[in-house]
């Protein structure tokens, strides 16, 4: 395989010591060694304690423990997450109860003959009919049994659904007040809604009810209903107990270097308050987002550049350091500050000390053993 253009270089030369991980298809190289899987390359380590799912255009794919989740859209890096619900993919189980009132007809629950988003037959089919009276006392729904949540904290519920004919379905969860309405059709889609928990115990309901814009009747297929603290993450499928997905742990070793360059192209699902780490070393965030704004910290010196990205936007960032200089580039804009003796050691990718997770995708990761010029940083990230 030919040596690719590393994007950041000096006179087009390849890095004598560096890492090039391009998930869009150019390849994965660490020093002089190539690998078909970036997380099995030399000096790259990856771990996760559980199976995890990745949504691809062709459907969901399950990845076993310690298997990295990546495709042409990038490497997915997420922190730990817990689905608070039981039997998340089987709404015929005892943890789910049908509810009917007024002119509503009791929901009929069974196994859908249609393959679910995971490619297997096993999703739940709900036959629902709330009756002809469009008032709140007329409903046909299923409820999950009460479960523990954190009062006054945001939780997000999500589920996959499709319908034999287009219609509108309702769902509400920890807030216990307003319904979220979703338009469903014959294509599997994942829907989600965030709500602040009204107390320490909550329930979740899906179905049809008069007075809230729902269809009168619907044949609905549902797979993996999930409720988790915070914002929505990838699927966590549960059985007889609630379940968790382990965090993605990735590192790039190489020892301390007094000069170098780190570049990451990445995308996230939108602005979130707090911190998201792209790369960290020795407890410092070499590249991170602080309330959505890109910044870098090396040797106790912090600089920022750029603006908060929109949902799904690809952001190109890079930081270079050498005695007397640290430079940060974001989408072609470069900010440089003076620094006495910056140094960067082994890199933790997508987190810092087991916290501040990226919860997004890394499209490209580079670490080189020279400090790129401002012009090279601008060209590589512009």
Task: Please check whether residues 223 and 333 belong to one and the same domain.
Answer: no
Q: Confirm whether pTM is higher than 0.85.
A: yes
The predicted pLDDT at position 255 comes to 79
d(CA 251, CA 254): 10
301: in domain: yes
Task: Please check whether residues 223 and 253 belong to one and the same domain.
Answer: no
Q: What is the dihedral of CA 283, 286, 287, 289, to 10 degrees?
A: 40
5: in domain: no
CATH of the domain at 74: 2.60.120
Contact 305, 334 (CB under 8 A): yes
3: in domain: no
Last residue of a domain, one of 244, 277, 303: 244
12: in domain: no
**Domains in the chain, number:** 2
Task: Please check whether residues 188 and 286 belong to one and the same domain.
Answer: no
d(CA 282, CA 277): 13
Task: Please check whether residues 205 and 330 belong to one and the same domain.
Answer: no
Task: Please check whether residues 178 and 303 belong to one and the same domain.
Answer: no
CATH of the domain at 124: 2.60.120.260
Task: Please check whether residues 70 and 88 belong to one and the same domain.
Answer: no
191: in domain: yes
Q: Which domain covers residue 131, as residue numbers?
A: 83-244
Task: Please check whether residues 261 and 376 belong to one and the same domain.
Answer: yes
Phi, psi (5° rounding) for residue 215?
Answer: -60, 160
The predicted pLDDT at position 58 comes to 84
Task: Please check whether residues 122 and 190 belong to one and the same domain.
Answer: yes
Task: Please check whether residues 44 and 124 belong to one and the same domain.
Answer: no
The predicted pLDDT at position 10 comes to 36
Task: Please check whether residues 29 and 67 belong to one and the same domain.
Answer: yes
**Six token digits for residue 354:** 């087991």
Q: What is the pLDDT along the chain (382 residues), one digit of tens a residue?
A: 333 344 544 334 444 468 888 887 767 888 777 788 777 777 889 999 999 999 988 889 999 999 999 988 899 999 999 999 999 999 999 999 999 999 999 999 999 999 999 999 999 999 999 999 999 999 999 999 999 999 999 999 999 999 999 999 999 999 888 999 999 999 999 999 999 999 999 999 999 999 999 999 999 999 999 999 998 999 999 999 999 999 999 999 877 889 999 999 998 876 566 788 999 999 999 999 888 788 999 988 999 876 767 767 888 999 999 999 999 999 999 999 998 878 899 999 999 998 999 999 999 999 988 899 999 999 999 8
Last residue of a domain, one of 190, 216, 244: 244
The predicted pLDDT at position 33 comes to 77
Task: Please check whether residues 267 and 368 belong to one and the same domain.
Answer: yes
Task: Please check whether residues 145 and 234 belong to one and the same domain.
Answer: yes
Last residue of a domain, one of 195, 222, 244: 244
Contact 226, 191 (CB under 8 A): no
């Amino acid at each position: 395989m030919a040596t690719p253009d590393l994007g950041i270089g000096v006179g087009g030369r390849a890095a004598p010591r560096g890492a090039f991980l391009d998930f869009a298809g150019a390849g994965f190289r660490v020093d002089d060694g190539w690998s078909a899987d970036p997380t099995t390359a030399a000096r790259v380590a990856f771990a996760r304690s559980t199976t995890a799912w990745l949504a691809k255009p062709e459907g969901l794919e399950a990845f076993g423990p310690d298997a990295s989740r990546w495709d042409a859209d990038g490497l997915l890096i997420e922190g730990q997450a817990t689905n608070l619900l039981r039997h998340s993919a089987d709404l015929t189980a005892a943890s789910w109860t049908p509810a009917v009132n007024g002119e509503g007809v009791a929901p009929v629950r069974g196994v859908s003959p249609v393959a679910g988003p995971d490619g297997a037959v096993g999703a739940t089919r709900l036959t629902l009919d709330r009756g002809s009276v469009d008032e709140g006392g007329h409903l046909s729904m299923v409820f999950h049994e009460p479960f523990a949540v954190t009062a006054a904290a945001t939780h997000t519920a999500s589920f996959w659904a499709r319908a034999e004919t287009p219609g509108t379905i309702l769902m509400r969860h920890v807030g216990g007040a307003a319904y979220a309405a979703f338009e469903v059709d014959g294509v599997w889609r994942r829907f989600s809604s965030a709500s602040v928990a009204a107390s320490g115990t909550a329930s979740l309901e899906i179905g049809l009810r008069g007075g809230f814009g729902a269809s009168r009747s619907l044949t609905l297929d549902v797979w993996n209903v999930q409720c988790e603290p915070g914002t929505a993450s990838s699927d966590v499928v549960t059985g007889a107990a609630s379940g968790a997905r382990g965090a993605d742990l990735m590192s790039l070793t190489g020892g301390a270097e007094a000069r170098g360059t780190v570049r990451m192209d990445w995308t996230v699902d939108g602005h979130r308050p707090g911190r998201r780490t792209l790369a960290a070393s020795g407890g410092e965030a070499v590249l991170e987002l602080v309330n959505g704004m890109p910044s870098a910290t090396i040797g106790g010196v912090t600089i920022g550049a750029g603006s908060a990205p929109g949902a799904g936007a690809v952001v190109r960032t890079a930081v270079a350091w050498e005695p007397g200089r640290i430079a940060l580039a974001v989408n072609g804009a470069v900010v440089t500050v003076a620094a006495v003796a910056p140094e960067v050691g082994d890199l933790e990718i997508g987190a810092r000390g087991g916290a501040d997770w990226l919860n997004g995708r890394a499209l490209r990761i580079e670490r080189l053993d020279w400090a790129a010029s401002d012009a090279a940083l601008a060209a590589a990230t512009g």
